[in-house]
Amino acid sequence: MFTMKRILTSAAMCIGLSTTAYAQQEITIGVIEPMSGAGAQTGIDAKAAMETAAEIINENIDLDLPLGPGVGLTNFGGAKIKLIFADHQADPQKGRAEAEKLITENKVSAIVGAYHSAVAAVVSQVAERYQVPFLAADSSSPSLHRRNLKWFFRTSAHDEMFSAAMFDFYADLKSKKNIDVGSVSLFYEDTIFGTDSSNVQRKLAGERGIKIAGEIKYRANSPSLTSEVQQLKSSNGTVLMPSSYTTDAILLTKTMGELGYKPQAIVAQAAGFAEQAFLEAVGDKAEGIVSRSSFALDLAEKRPMIAKVNELYKKRSGKDLNDNSARQFMAILVIADAIDRAASTKSEDIRTALQKTDIPGEKTIMPWANVRFDETGQNTGATPVLVQVQSGAFRSVWPFETASKPVVWPMPGR
């Protein structure tokens, strides 16, 4: 049956059927990420991750991933995808302008992005207005999928899912390791990412009976965090829970070292704490930091395909995949798979195909159960894990049953 379908498809192409699927020889996907400014390294890494995904799609690379084996998009006669990158510079209004340009001038079939949730909020509104699918690869604000948008989809977990995992981790520490997290201090930046994250964590702390010892909201990209860290030190919470992008994460960690602030643990909302640039900038001060994650590289020990993908990415970037770049990689595979199944570049057809997405977790590089979108466009199968910096590298430490290493608690030097 499959062979006959391929023969009929080839015959249709030869006689020149004028369908959208076969007339299009190159499928364009727009990508909006921070390629300059404070978040530039995240965007640069995203570009390498997404180009790695495009390489797997466009070339005959035998990996058990969507569109892995074979060349190009099957339902487009092997047509290849082309990624068009735009730099939003961490500025929502710049993101708006770039999204409009991608849609009206570059005629992209879909848009993927945008790391900063504040930018994703604006770009997804533009996509909604033009009726073009927008796939949030790496923006985690819970409010993004609750705006009744028809064209919004998100492959990875949002911060309610991530934060619930953190508090489940605290419960497991108490029941399985006799470690009591009695209090937490919240530290978060003042954009939609930070404020949404803190709202969720505040709510969960109340529900789980964990005291909030301190709560600091700070201005993103602040030149100094001395007074904020002094307040955190005075609050004396058992665990610090920061929600910060890279430059702020670096500044926070260095300032903590300078002021001698040492909570028992740091459990971060990923973002800047997941970046290689952060690890390189703070050195051994990162040792023991726990972060929520969509990805754990050490899962390659059980699923060798992850190591092969990481090798391809490393050739482009010179570094390993992390939480952010792994999500960016998967987003391109998911949107390309939907376009291929739609056998069309019409927006409504792609949207319908996204709604029908059903990718088993083992056909991803993630610890996800699957990729299935609910009526809001959220992937409900994006199961989080927790990782910890051990000997300078992230190792999976929770869920305990599948972890590669036992969690180190308290942090070294505490």
Structure confidence by residue, pLDDT tens digits, 234-291: 999 999 999 999 999 999 999 999 999 999 999 999 889 988 899 999 999 999 999 9
The pLDDT value recorded for residue 238 is: 96
Distances (CA, A) of 288 to 64, 172, 204, 252, 395: 34, 18, 23, 15, 10
- Domain 160-293+386-398, CATH class in plain words: alpha beta
Q: Burial of 303 by CB count in 10 Å (0-12 exposed, 13-18 middle, 19+ buried)?
A: middle
CA separation for the pair 396, 387 (Å, rounded): 4
List Cβ neighbours of 342 (8 Å cut-off, separation of 6 or more). Answer: 75, 349, 350, 352, 353
Neighbouring C-beta atoms of residue 391, cutoff 10 Å: 8
CB within 8 Å of 131: residues ≥ 6 apart? 150, 151, 347, 348
Residue whose tokens read 């492959």: 155
CATH number of 2-157+300-383: 3.40.50.2300
Domain boundaries in the chain? 2-157+300-383, 160-293+386-398
Residue type, 267: V
**Contact assessment for residue 163 and residue 269, using Cβ atoms and an 8 Å cutoff:** yes
Q: How much is the pLDDT for 5?
A: 37
Of 249, 361, 347, the C-alpha closest to 295 is 361
**What is the CA angle 207-208-212, rounded to 5?**
90
What's the pTM value of the predicted model, to 2 decimals? 0.86
pLDDT at 22 (0 to 100): 45
- Report the chain (414 residues): mean pLDDT per 10 consecutive residues: 38 39 74 92 96 97 94 94 97 97 98 96 98 96 95 96 96 97 96 94 97 96 96 96 96 97 96 91 96 92 93 96 95 98 97 98 96 98 96 94 94 84
Predicted local distance difference test score (pLDDT) of residue 39: 84
Q: What is the pLDDT of residues 164-186, one digit of tens each?
A: 999 999 999 999 999 999 999 99
- CA-wise closest residue to 231 among 194, 205, 259, 250: 259
